Structures are given as C-alpha cells and as structure tokens.
C-alpha cells in the first residue's frame, strides 16, 4: 500500500513570496490533515478535511494561508505572502475515517525555509 | 484548549539503559497515541491506547494509559541506538473529536 505522498520535499523562498505544497493521501482515506512542525516542537494542526469539506481550520492563519481539497482526494496548501516565522516542516496526514482512536498516517513533509 | 506536556524534553543515554517518557494533561482524552519520528521523515504510529489503565507492550516498549485518561507513559527497556529519534504523544477525542493534539516531543539519543 502506497503511503502519503508530498511534494516538494524542500523549498527555499524569500519573505513575501508565495509557495504551494501538494499532498496525495492514502487511497480511500476520507480524512486529510495539514500540520506545521517548527523545529524541536510537536506538529500543530492547521486544517482538517473530511472528504472535500473543512472540519477544523481554527489554527490556520487565514490572512496568508489557504488550503483546498478538490474532489476529496489530493490537497494543496498555499502560503501568500510568506513570513520568516513560516519556516517549518509542513506535514500532511490521512486517516481512513474520523474516529476517536483516529490513527493517522503521515507523509515525509515539506521543509520550508523563508529567507 | 487541550494541552499535552511531555517530559523530559531531551534524553541522552547509553545503550542498554532503561528510560521512561511521560505525557501529561489536565484534559481527558478518548485515546492516546505514541509516534516516533526520524529526521527528514513524518511521524510513524507506534501504539494507540484507549482504555484507562491500559498497558500495551511492543517488544522492548511498554505503553501505559492513566486510569483517568489524562496521562500516559512510554518505557523502553535496554535501549538500543536504533531507538534514537523524536517521540511524540498525541491525544484524540475529548473536546476535539477527530483531531490529534500533540505534545512537544522528547528527543532520545542512545549512544553505542
């Protein structure tokens, strides 16, 4: 079974530029998550999708971050414009369903450096 | 807001030693998960505990969920260099159904 795919793996941009990340979840997984992980910290949830609908985006900085999951499969996360503090690893995860035991499978992440 | 606090934040030990990592919260969780993350990779699920007082063993790793479902511990017996990595606890359910709240992680280094 193929895992969660993410691209690119690394991205370096200057502040105020735009960037987009792509995620392809495990086939059949209805729930998709985007996390931000700053070096030395645990992942912080940015947005959670159930199929193509948003379940939770309470911690997404909506003035600069946006995400979509068209057709309930692939997802993209965009930052526009980027700030220095956005430097982090952006992780995508998926789970079969939204349950209380909620086992999530993570992709390798995209490491973003904002200069 | 549900928070999970892990301790210690860093752990550096010699091969063969035992260690315990703690994960504490003031909130009740429906389940508690432990993940291990290696550099350049995403977290990988080790175990899920769902019942208060539950103990699960995975080879040299023992996981326990507190009776009140607010805390958990991970104990590693006879640590090996291959155990090196970032260990994360994550709580699910409670007031945030379907969402995981992660602790800040414990960086474990096992020296040969």
Interface test with A, best of B29, B32, B39, B43 (most A CBs within 10 A): B43
Give the per-residue SS3 of B69-102.
Answer: CCEEEEEECCCCHHHCEEEEEEEEECCEEEEEEE
What is the pLDDT, as a whole number, of residue B1? 65
Residue of B nearest to A111 (CA): B40
Does position A106 have pLDDT exceeding 60, yes or no? yes
Q: Name the residue facing A104 among B40, B100, B101 (closest C-beta).
A: B100
- The band of A6, judged by pLDDT with boundaries at 50, 70 and 90, is very high
Q: Which is nearest to A28 in space by CA: A11, A58, A46, A4?
A: A4
* Model confidence pLDDT, tens digit, residues B56-99: 999 999 999 999 999 999 999 999 999 999 999 999 876 556 68
- The band of B19, judged by pLDDT with boundaries at 50, 70 and 90, is very high
CB contact under 8 A, B93 and A102: yes
Structure tokens belonging to residue B64: 């326990």
> Which residues, in sequence order, are bridge partners of residue B109?
B12
CB A114 within 8 A of CB A13: yes
> What's the gap between Cα B21 and its chain centre?
7
Report DSSP state, residue A71: G
What is the pLDDT, as a whole number, of residue A1? 66
Q: Which is nearest to B111 in space by CA: B12, B9, B8?
A: B12
b/e per residue A18-55 (b: at least 16 CB within 10 A): ebebebbbbeebebbbbbbbeeeebbebbbbbbeeeeb
What is the pLDDT, as a whole number, of residue A2? 83
Does position A52 have pLDDT exceeding 90, yes or no? no
Residue range A15-24: mean pLDDT, rounded: 97
Question: How far off is chain A from B9, nearest CA to CA, in Å?
Answer: 9
Give CA–CA dist A44/A103, Å, rounded.
16
What is the pLDDT, as a whole number, of residue B97? 62
Interface test with A, best of B9, B24, B42 (most A CBs within 10 A): B42
CB B4 within 8 A of CB B71: no
Residue range A79-106: mean pLDDT, rounded: 89
For every residue of A10-43, DSSP letters joined together read EEEE-TT--EEEEEE--TT--EEEEEEE-TTS--
Task: Classify B30 as helix, strand or coil.
Answer: coil
Residues in chain B closer than 8 A to A45 (CB atoms)? 99-101
What is the pLDDT, as a whole number, of residue B92? 85
From A35-44, A96-105, B98-107, the region with the lowest mean pLDDT: A96-105
Task: Classify A69 as helix, strand or coil.
Answer: coil
């Amino acid at each position: 079974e193929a895992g969660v795919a993410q691209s690119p793996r690394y991205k370096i941009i200057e502040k105020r530029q735009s960037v987009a990340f792509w995620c392809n979840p495990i086939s059949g997984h209805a729930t998709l998550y985007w996390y931000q992980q700053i070096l030395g910290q645990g992942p912080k949830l940015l947005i959670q999708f159930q199929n193509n609908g948003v379940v939770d985006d309470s911690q997404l900085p909506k003035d600069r971050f946006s995400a979509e999951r068209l057709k309930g499969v692939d997802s993209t996360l965009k930052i526009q414009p980027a700030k220095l503090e956005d430097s982090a690893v952006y992780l995508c995860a998926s789970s079969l369903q939204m349950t209380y035991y909620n086992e999530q499978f993570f992709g390798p992440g995209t490491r973003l450096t904002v200069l | 807001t549900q928070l999970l606090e892990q301790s210690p934040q860093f752990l550096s030990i010699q091969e063969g030693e035992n260690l315990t990592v703690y994960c504490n919260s003031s909130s009740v969780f429906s389940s508690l998960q432990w993940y291990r993350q290696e550099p350049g990779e995403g977290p990988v699920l080790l175990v899920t505990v769902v019942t208060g007082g539950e103990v699960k063993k995975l080879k040299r790793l023992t996981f326990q969920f507190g009776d009140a479902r607010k805390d958990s511990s991970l104990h590693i017996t006879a640590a090996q260099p291959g155990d090196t990595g970032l260990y994360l606890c994550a709580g699910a359910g409670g007031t945030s159904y379907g969402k995981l709240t992660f602790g800040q992680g414990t960086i474990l280094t096992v020296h040969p």
